[in-house]
Amino acid sequence: MRNGIALYPGLDNSEAENLVLLQTAAQMGITRIFTSLHIPESNISKLKKELTPLLAAARHYNMEVISDISPATLTLLGLEQFSLEAFKTLGITTLRLDCGYNAKEIAAMSQNTQGIKIQLNASTLTENILSTLQNFAVDFTKIEALHNFYPREGTGIGGRKLLKKNKLLHSFGIKVGAFVPSQNRKRGPLKAGLPTLESGRYLNVSLGARKLVALGVDSVFIGDSLPSMEELTALSILKEDQVTMRIQVLTKNPYAKQLLQKTFTARVDEARDAIRAQESRGLLCGEDIEPENTMERGLGSITLDNKGYGRYMGELQLIKRAQVADYRTNVIGQILPSEEFLLAFITPGRKYGFEII
């Protein structure tokens, strides 16, 4: 996934801290940087001093720089008029247009030949706006969308709205990004985290990011100033377009352990009580599965049918509704209770996998 960090020259971090964060993220395979050039609380003189070395470092590591801009940004940067070429020369490769630009202007920007991408505010886009852009011959191949983050508690958006908005944007061929907060150092002035989802405000980066992916987000950014190494690692190993759940392994069978490291697809003929893996029985290759841990199956149990089930041997299931013990079915793992809610996002045909703790 093309995930990212956020850097805010002129705010909380020192220039040295920002440069170390950029270098560390690049070395971990994180390829994108979000910044904003119109935050009211920024120290403007400090921002101007720190911006150039940060952009130079981003170029050195071949990282995409996404900058929130508004018409006021021109004054800040000392530009006499709006120029995509000027932003490219600075090292800003994607412009996020937060406000102040109409559909005709956005469509014209999307037709640029400088290789600049345009990013729109995913949280405020509507079908009407997207259709209007279409009427102005916008080049959707150069358009992406990034949801807002929400510094004040209680103002983040809900999961259903996020999912609905993502589906709308995907129908126009637009990839979507969103933010998770850091629990390490929160950015000022409020220091209450910078999440897109209100329900993600106090989640760790790993779970918050995996929840966003489950809701259809294509790229995840840590919104706050100085994420920890653990948070950067979680972002760097995030898997695209699948629901990923942390689990405990409850089997000693080598084949079953290996199975838990694979990616599966939920069968399209959805069962009431369980999510059935489309691929699992086809992976057996002559393996005999002996009975083991044939215990009661609760919500979030991961089961594997043993040889007692005949031709169903090797079927892997995620339990949605509690079931009694059955000598023909082994319990090989358990989704962490705090992550059982992710089961709701494994819709028919959706890919899913596990992160073993």
How high is the pLDDT of residue 100? 80
Which pLDDT score is estimated for 71? Answer: 78
**Buried/exposed 16-28: b ≥16 CB within 10 Å, e otherwise:** eebbebbeebbeb
Return the pLDDT at 324.
98
DSSP string, 274-307: EEEBSSGGGG-TT----------B-TTEEEEE-G
Tokens 């966003």 correspond to 212
User: Superfamily for 245-356?
Assistant: Cyclophilin-like (2.40.100.10)
Confidence at residue 225, expressed as pLDDT on a 0 to 100 scale: 87
Please report which helix (H) or strand (E) contains residue 72, including its range: helix 72-77
CA dihedral 71, 151, 170, 270 (to 10 degrees): 180
DSSP state of 197: B
Which residues make up the CATH 2.40.100.10 domain(s) of the chain? 245-356
Residues of the chain with CATH 3.20.20.70: 4-239
Q: What is the pLDDT of residue 258?
A: 96
Q: Which two tokens stand for residue 344?
A: 């709701």
Average pLDDT, the chain: 95
- CA-based diameter of the chain, in Å? 77
Cα–Cα distance list, 5 to 23, 101, 212, 219, 231 (Å): 11, 26, 15, 11, 10
**4-239: CATH topology:** TIM Barrel (3.20.20)
Taking the chain (357 residues) in runs of 10, the rounded mean pLDDT of each run is 95 94 98 90 90 96 94 80 88 89 94 94 96 96 97 98 98 98 95 98 98 98 96 97 97 97 97 97 92 98 98 97 98 98 98 97
Q: What is the per-residue pLDDT for 140? A: 96
